[in-house]
Amino acid sequence: MAAGGLDETIGVLTVQRRALIRSRPPQLPVSFDDSMNRLMGALTTARLLPLIDAAASAGADIFCVDAGWCDEDGGWWDSVGERRPSTTRSPGGLGRAWTASGSAAWCRAPGSNRR
């Protein structure tokens, strides 16, 4: 444990982890898949945008939207497999989230040349 306690320890580990991620071979992209973590499948464009920016800032090359994008009313199980973007969660479609930060569905980190 670092002298500053748990927060400092986590901070040191985060710096080291990010250094390792940035030094990876370029052919190995870093992907971020929230799935059922922070958003718990309850995504909206407003909730996705800051997460896309944070993932790109942390070095992610790919941002995966796994759950919740096709659910209209919170009864997600009924809409599993629909594959139609929700119009209530993402008014105007998912395109706004994909074009955020120049992501175009891929969270292209600064310096990344992947498409």
Domain boundaries, the chain: 27-102
What is the structure's pLDDT at 105?
45
For residue 95, the surrounding DSSP H or E stretch is helix 95-99
CA distance linking residue 107 with residue 54, whole number of Å: 10
What average pLDDT values come out for the chain (115 residues) when binned by 10 residues?
A: 86 86 71 75 80 82 73 64 71 70 46 43
What is the structure's pLDDT at 23?
66
